[in-house]
Amino acid sequence: MKAKSLSLALGLALCFTVSSCVSWLAPSVNTNLVTLESGQYKLDPNHAALLFKIQHLGLSTYVGRFNQFDASLNFDPQNISTASLQALVDIRSIDVNNADLADTLQGSDWFDSQQFPQAKFVSQGVKPLADDQFEFYGQLTLHGVTRPASFIARFHGGADNWMTGKYTLGFSATGNITRSEFDMASYIPLVGDEVQLEIYAEFLKQ
């Protein structure tokens, strides 16, 4: 009984110590937009996700992702309208949890990644929508076609990141594109024309 009691006490002490360390290591996130740090930021690829969603046969929503992309952000919380964003996506990094389908999507009926290996978004302006929400609008180049596109972005705050030693911004965004406008009209309407994009990311100050 004494051994069990000692083991329980040691276990509780360890849990308390770990919890205390986690609490101590957790950054103090500042969600007040105007007090966030301005400057040039680069995407932290280890804390980023780019998802796409599309209707399939009108029965379900098919979800995939791109595993390799990069972005840079010029950010001034005192003058958010001057913010700018550029992003590059490696089309060959598409991930749909199905190797055969991924190969098919690389082909000429779909992304034709051999000829068009990257997609690119360059913002041209920012429109404030709410205290922490903004619309980045600009030009999206996909499948060799450039069209206007916009993303509703939300800043989740900023904090000193002890893991990287750099000040970090949390960011998410959503947007919709019509794939037929980028000359990708295969199998419409069996496969939806509208594609929803979701981005979740952390940006590191340079």
- Whose CA is closest to 81, among 49, 37, 125? 125
Domains of the chain and CATH, by start: 27-205 (2.40.128.110)
Tens-digit pLDDT string for the chain (206 aa): 555 555 555 555 554 544 444 455 667 888 788 788 999 999 999 999 999 999 999 999 999 999 999 999 999 988 888 999 999 999 999 999 999 999 999 999 999 999 999 999 999 999 999 888 999 999 999 999 999 999 999 999 999 998 889 999 999 999 999 999 999 999 999 999 999 999 999 999 99
The Cβ of residue 143 has, within 10 Å, a number of other Cβ atoms equal to 18
- DSSP calls for 72-98: EEEE-TTSGGG-EEEEEEEGGGEE-S-
Q: What are phi and psi of 2, to 5 degrees?
A: -65, -40
Containing 119, the helix (H) or strand (E) segment is strand 118-128
The Cβ of residue 126 has, within 10 Å, a number of other Cβ atoms equal to 20
| Spatial distance between the Cα atoms of 152 and 94, rounded to a whole number of angstroms | 23
